[in-house]
Structure 1
Amino acid sequence: MLNIEGLEKLEPNAPVVMLNLMRFRARSRDGDGSGWDAYLRYSAITVPMIRARGGTLLWTGEAKAVALGPHRGNQWDFVALVYYPSVAAFLDMMTSEAYEREADPHRVNACAEHVIIATSEAYSKFRPK
């Protein structure tokens, strides 16, 4: 469930990188392939929505192993870092009728668990010093 109350406490015009942690279902809830297959359908819809709001995928990849910290509850399959030019842009996408109607059902079908953590920049090798 989207934590609108928590997101509304953030600076609405500040850029944000969303850390996505996903654990996929073996089978999609709708019976159409695997959880990964449903996630690919979700991505095909959401990536254009992200770009339309000035955002972009920074990085995606498979989660291989917990290197430090508790192992229990941290068995993730996939990780994505998604940049949005503002928290408001993220909220606009996530609360849009198009997202709720076209994209979110695929996400629900794909993921046994999906955590999104809003982050703010403390350091970036991409920003000049």
Structure 2
Amino acid sequence: MLNIEGLEQLDRHAPVVMLNLMRFHERSRDGDGSGWDAYLRYSAITVPMIKARGGTLLWTGEAKAIALGTHDGNQWDFVALVCYPSVAAFLDMMMSEAYENEADPHRRNACAEHVIIATSEAYSKFRTK
């Protein structure tokens, strides 16, 4: 469930990087392939939505092993970092009719669990300023 209340407490105009943690269903809930297959359908729809709002996919990768910390509750399959020019741009996408009707059903079919953490930059070797 989208935490609108929490996101509205952030600076709506500041850039934000969303850390996505995903654990997939073995089979897509709609019966159309694996959870990964459903996630690929979701991505094919959302990446253009992200780009249309000035965002970009920074990095994705498979979660391989817990290197530090408890294992309980940390069985992730996939990680993605998505940069949006603002929290408002993220909310605009997530609350759009197109996201709700076209993309989100694939996400729900794909993911047994999907956590998105809004982050603010403390350091980046990619900073241009």
TM-score w.r.t. length of structure 1: 0.99
What is residue 32 of structure 1 aligned with on the other side? Answer: 32
Distance 1:98 1:123 in 2: 34
What is residue 76 of structure 1 aligned with on the other side? Answer: 76
What is residue 86 of structure 1 aligned with on the other side? Answer: 86
Distance 2:9 2:24 in 1: 30
Distance 1:59 1:81 in 2: 5
What is residue 103 of structure 1 aligned with on the other side? Answer: 103
What is residue 57 of structure 2 aligned with on the other side? Answer: 57
CA drift of 1:128 comes to 4.3
Distance 1:40 1:30 in 2: 14
What is residue 120 of structure 1 aligned with on the other side? Answer: 120
Flag structure 1 segments of 5+ consecutive residues without an equivalent: none
RMSD: 0.7
Distance 2:127 2:40 in 1: 31
Query: What is the total number of aligned residue pairs between the two structures?
Result: 129
CA drift of 1:112 comes to 0.1
Deviation string, structure 1 residues 67-116 (Cα, Å, up to 9, x no partner): 00111110100000000000000000000000000000000000000000
* Percent of residue pairs identical: 88
Flag structure 2 segments of 5+ consecutive residues without an equivalent: none
What is residue 66 of structure 2 aligned with on the other side? Answer: 66
Distance 2:62 2:47 in 1: 18
Distance 2:106 2:72 in 1: 26
CA drift of 1:127 comes to 1.2
What is residue 13 of structure 1 aligned with on the other side? Answer: 13
